[in-house]
Amino acid sequence: MSGSRAFLRIAALTGLLVAAGVPAHAQGGGETPPPAVTVMTIQSRTLPVTYEYAGRVAASREVEVRARVGGILLQREFEEGARIAQGTLLFRIDSAPYEAQVALAKAEVMQAEAQLGQAQRTEERARTLAQSGASSRAALDDAVSARELAAAQVAAAEAQLRTATLSLGYATVEAPVSGITSLEQVPEGSLLSTGDLLTRISQLDPIYVNFSAADREAASIRDLIDSGRLQGGTNPSDLKVTIAFGDGATYEQSGTIDFTSTSIDSQTGTILSRAVLPNPDDKLLPGQFVRLQLEGLSVENAVTVPTEALMQGPQGTFVYTVNAENVAEVRPVRVDRELNGSLLLADGLQDGDRVIVEGVVKVRPNAPVAPHEAEEAPAGGQPANAPEASAGPEEGAAEPPAAGTPEAPEAAEDAAPATGDSSALESDAETASADASAGPPVPLTALPDGQAARDEQNGAETGQ
């Protein structure tokens, strides 16, 4: 008899279990809450813009000092690598041959002048005789021609003298400009030919910094200027140029741009530009690589977003915006350039748009979100409107287990909100609604596991 009662009790418990077969994750009775995101309200403003390029230092003047006459190099008169002034004596070339040429040219000038004097006297006699009728007109003409030829010979001799004098002067080589000398290219005692390189002089104050801008960036700057948004870029010489070294130190002097090429380099696709800066202490040396920054520009009505807000899709770059119903929407944007961790947008957003800047990976197009403003986020990084843990049960949460009933680990896991795939959530919601029509949901932790019935049956059989 007791065995039949135990069997009926087990059957009844089995029926309850079948009637209560509702998925544990549907016991909450609600959909997954919208993800919490941080939004930033767009507000355009006038934004200072700094353009940065890699540059290389070059001397403002690089002069090659070459021999203008041949001969033996007798002496070097300067310290290699020293700063020299214009007109400083650099080299001495053997001048003896050129001194002899000057003496010879002087003698030729004297000879030509003597011949000119004789021709003049002959012309005077011929003119007197012709006037008295003692000589013919032809004799006078010959005397005049002889005098003219003698005058031309004097001019040629004087020219030869000047040439010889110049050659003698070229035997002493002087600095054509002020600057810093390089190493000598020819040692003392060498035989020089006309045009041989002796040394180089670099003028370092002022100094040049050459840099190149990509053609796309130059086109973007030109578009900003044409649209009237970029201020301060009308005259390149009005821009302020600052220099930063490789260790991060900043050069104390600032300069301006004095040259911009009107053509694009066909090999690099860049536009060459040049800045000029004072360099009184020679801190900038030719060949040195530096970072060049252009300051003095500003963009009116600039719209910027953090870099983490930008997404990339098949149709290009976009951001997520939140509409008045707190629904995420895809907004295509066009990026102009990056500025200190932010992106300057060319178009796509307007004042008042709310852009999702944090939690972007949790957002789906046309799906609801729980937005809060970026400035309202607490210091710890927790979203300002994030749900806080509550000591009591929340609406839609699973019922607590009945008193005296052991709590199953799987029940605790099923009671947590599901954060898996959206398709799984929709399937679970449909299952929960179908099971709910069969009967009221019963928490699994409130049902006996059948062990008590088996213990009672075993006790009854032992008593018999």
More confident residue, 391 or 164: 164
Average pLDDT, the chain: 78
Its pTM stands at: 0.58
More confident residue, 348 or 402: 348
**According to the model, what pLDDT value does residue 218 have?**
77
Domain boundary among the residues 376, 401, 433 is at 376
Query: Are 203 and 321 in the same domain?
Result: no
More confident residue, 313 or 434: 313
**According to the model, what pLDDT value does residue 106 have?**
96
Residue 387 lies in a domain: no
Domain span at 40: 36-48+302-376
Query: Are 287 and 266 in the same domain?
Result: yes
**According to the model, what pLDDT value does residue 147 have?**
92
Query: Are 232 and 313 in the same domain?
Result: no
Query: Are 135 and 262 in the same domain?
Result: no
CATH code of 116's domain: 1.10.287
Q: Using one digit for the tens of pLDDT, what is the confidence trace for 108-138?
A: 999 999 999 999 999 998 888 888 888 888 8
Query: Are 90 and 238 in the same domain?
Result: yes
Whether residue 26 is predicted with pLDDT greater than 70 in this model: the reply is: no
Q: Using one digit for the tens of pLDDT, what is the confidence trace for 428-461?
A: 444 334 343 333 333 333 334 445 545 555 555 5
Q: What is the mean pLDDT of residues 360-389?
A: 65
Whether residue 150 is predicted with pLDDT greater than 60 in this model: the reply is: yes
More confident residue, 166 or 381: 166
Residue 368 lies in a domain: yes
Residue 292 lies in a domain: yes
Residue 275 lies in a domain: yes
Query: Are 132 and 257 in the same domain?
Result: no
Query: Are 311 and 256 in the same domain?
Result: no
Whether residue 427 is predicted with pLDDT greater than 90 in this model: the reply is: no
Q: What is the mean pLDDT of residues 173-185?
A: 92
**According to the model, what pLDDT value does residue 397 have?**
39
Domain boundary among the residues 376, 392, 425 is at 376
Three-state DSSP string of the chain: CHHHHHHHHHHHHHHHHHHCCCCHHHCCCCCCCCCEEEEEECCCEEEEEEEEEEEEEEEEEEEEEECCCCEEEEEECCCCCCEECCCCEEEEECCHHHHHHHHHHHHHHHHHHHHHHHHHHHHHHHHHHHHHCCCCHHHHHHHHHHHHHHHHHHHHHHHHHHHHHHHHHHCEEECCCCEEECCCCCCCCCEECCCCEEEEEEEEEEEEEEEEEEHHHHHHHHHHHHHCCEECCCCHHHCEEEEECCCCCECCCCEEEEEECCCCCCCCCEEEEEEEECCCCCCCCCCCEEEEEEEEEEEEEEEEEEHHHCEEECCEEEEEEECCCCEEEEEECEEEEEECCEEEEEECCCCCCEEEEECHHHCCCCCECEEEEHHHCCCCCCCCCCCCCCCCCCCCCCCCCCCCCCCCHHHHHHHCCCCCCHHHHHHHHHHHHHHHHHCCCCCHHHCCCCHHHHHHHHHHHHHC
- Say how many domains are in the chain: 3
Query: Are 154 and 265 in the same domain?
Result: no
Residue 213 lies in a domain: yes
Percent of the chain residues past pLDDT 90, beyond the cut: 45
More confident residue, 412 or 169: 169
**According to the model, what pLDDT value does residue 30 have?**
59
Query: Are 292 and 212 in the same domain?
Result: yes
Query: Are 154 and 280 in the same domain?
Result: no
Residue 331 lies in a domain: yes
Query: Are 243 and 182 in the same domain?
Result: yes
Query: Are 110 and 245 in the same domain?
Result: no
Q: Using one digit for the tens of pLDDT, what is the confidence trace for 42-56?
A: 998 888 888 889 999
CATH code of 181's domain: 2.40.30.170
Residue 461 lies in a domain: no
Whether residue 38 is predicted with pLDDT greater than 90 in this model: the reply is: yes
Q: Using one digit for the tens of pLDDT, what is the confidence trace for 252-294?
A: 999 998 888 888 888 888 889 999 999 988 899 999 999 999 8
**According to the model, what pLDDT value does residue 233 have?**
61
Domain boundary among the residues 361, 376, 391 is at 376
CATH code of 308's domain: 2.40.420.20
